[in-house]
Amino acid sequence: MMIAFSLSLVRMPQQHRIALPGFRFQEMMKASDGIWMYDILDNAWFAWHAWLVIVTADMMGSAKVNGTTGVSGVHGNRFSTVEGARASDKGKQQYYPITNYEGVLARLANAKNDKERKEIAKETGIIRLPLLAASFAHIYPYFFTPDCLHQFYANNANHLHRLMLECGHLPRDKAEKFGYMLETAKATLPATFCGPICNIHTKLNTSYKLFEWMAVVHWYTIPFLISLGVNNEVVSNYAMFVRITEFSMEVVPRTESELRELEALIIDFLTGFERLYITDPSQICRARITLFQLIHIPNCIRWYGSYRICSQATCEQTIGYLGRKVRSDKSPFQNLANLIVENEVIKCLKLYYPHLVPTNPARFLLTLSIS
C-alpha cells in the first residue's frame, strides 16, 4: 500500500522549519526498521514497515530537502554534468550539474571550516547530505523528483508564450486577438472542465493560474496560432512541446522504444527552440533549466512510471483544502496535523472496509428560483 503525505513550510515559524520535517523523517526512519502493531480484529501482533520511496516538491522546496543550492550557481542540474550558462560575463549560471555525488559528500565531511564547505558548495552545488538519505530507498538524484506541474505549465508554457511575443512571432495585434479569442472561448467551455479562462494578453503579468495554462497548452494555443497565420515553424515547435507534455503525463505503461521516441522528440523540440529563439550568444538566458530538464523525462519515466507522479497538483490542492479548514489561532499547526491524521484514518477505513464507500454517491442538485 502506498500513502502520500504532504508537509508545507509556508507561513511556518522559522524555529519549526527544521524541527517539524525532521520529526516526520525520524518517524519514517523508525518505521523502516519496523513498528509492532496489534490487530484487534485478528487478535494478533504484526510488524509494520514503511519506507520513503520518492520525495516530490517544487524547485524551491526540493532544494530545501535534497541538500543542494538550487538552480542558480556555478553548477546546477542534478541529473547531468552540463556546465551552467551565463547571460553575461558577470551573470550567474543557470544550471547545476552534480558530479561524483559521494565524492563531494566526502569532501564536505572532511572540510576543516565553514569557509571551505562554502567553497565546495559553490563549486559543486551540493551543500550537505540530506536527512532523507537515511531511507533504504534513497538513490540520488532520482529520489527527488522534478515538479512536472510547474515545469510544463507555470514555467515552460509561460516562457514560450512570452518568447513568441518578444521575438515578434506573435505581434501585438495578433496577441490582442489571441487573448480576445481565449476570453470568448469560455462560453463553450464546460464548467466541469475548469474555471473560466481569462484574457492572456491582459492578465499575463498578473495572476494567470495553472489550470488556465493547462487549458491554453492543451486546447487553445495550436488552433489559435494556425488561425492567426503564425509562422508554421513556430507552431510546429509548440506542437512538439504539447506532445511531450501529453505523452509524459499519461498514466499508461511505456515501452523502451516509446521512451526512445520521446527522447528523439525532445531533442527535436530543443533543437528547434534554439534555432527559433537563441540566434546569438547574448540570448543564452532564454535557455532556462526547466526547458533543459525536459531531456531527463524519459529516464524519470523509467524510474517512476508516469511522469504525473511528480506533479505537485495533489499537494497544492491538499494544502488549499486543509488550509481553509484550520480554525485554531492558538495552535494552527496542531489543528492542521489533526486534520491530516483524520483524513488518513478515513482513507485507511475505506481500504479496510470497502463496503463503506458508496458505489453510487447521491448527487444533490442546487436549484435557483427567480421570482
Q: Are residues 153 and 112 in the same domain?
A: no
The pLDDT of residue 267: 94
pLDDT value of position 96 = 45
Same domain, 153 and 204: yes
109/241 same-domain check: no
pLDDT at 89: 56
pLDDT of the chain, 371 residues: tens digit per residue: 445 555 544 444 444 443 344 446 677 777 778 888 888 878 889 888 877 776 666 666 666 666 666 555 555 555 555 555 555 555 555 444 455 778 888 888 888 898 888 888 777 777 888 777 777 777 777 777 778 888 898 889 999 999 999 998 999 999 999 999 988 888 888 777 777 888 888 888 777 888 888 889 999 999 999 999 999 999 999 999 999 999 999 989 999 999 999 999 999 999 999 999 988 877 877 888 788 889 889 988 888 888 888 787 777 777 778 888 888 888 888 888 888 888 888 888 888 888 877 776 655 454 545 54
206 DSSP 8-state letter: S
Look up the pTM and report it: 0.70
Q: Is there a domain that residue 166 lies in?
A: yes
Query: Which of the listed residues 271, 289, 309 is the one where a domain comes to its end?
Result: 309
- The CA distance from 246 to 218, in Å, is 8
Q: How high is the pLDDT of residue 164?
A: 93
Domain membership of residue 363 (yes or no) is: no
* Domain span holding position 92: 68-128
The whole-number pLDDT of residue 210 equals 83
Are 269 and 180 found together in one domain?
yes
316 burial (CB, 10 Å; 0-12 / 13-18 / 19+) is middle
Question: Does 5 fall in a domain?
Answer: no
Identify the pLDDT of residue 359: 72
DSSP secondary structure string for all residues of 298-341:
HHHHHHHSSGGGG-SHHHHHHHHHHHTT---SSSHHHHHHHHHH
Residue 306 to residue 292: CA distance in whole angstroms: 19
Expressed in percent and rounded to 5, the helix, strand and coil fractions of the chain are 55, 5, 40
Number of domains forming the structure of the chain: 2
| Helices assigned H by DSSP within 54-168 | 59-65, 101-110, 114-124, 148-149, 158-166
Asked if 116 and 218 sit in the same domain, the reply is no
Gap between the Cα atoms of 128 and 119, Å rounded: 13
**126 bridge partner residues:** 68
Which element (helix H / strand E) includes 289?
A: helix 289-292
Could you tell me if 106 and 237 lie in one domain?
no
The pLDDT value recorded for residue 20 is: 40
Give every CB contact of residue 363 below 8 A, 6+ residues apart in sequence: none
Residue with cell 478515513: 346
- Regarding whether 164 and 214 lie in a shared domain, the answer is yes
Same domain, 124 and 161: no
153 and 255 within one domain? yes
User: Which secondary-structure segment (H or E) carries 214?
Assistant: helix 210-215
Q: Does some domain include residue 317?
A: no
Task: Give the pLDDT confidence score for residue 31 in this predicted structure.
Answer: 79
Q: What are phi and psi of 39, to 5 degrees?
A: -100, 105
Please tell me whether residues 90 and 152 are part of one structural domain.
Answer: no
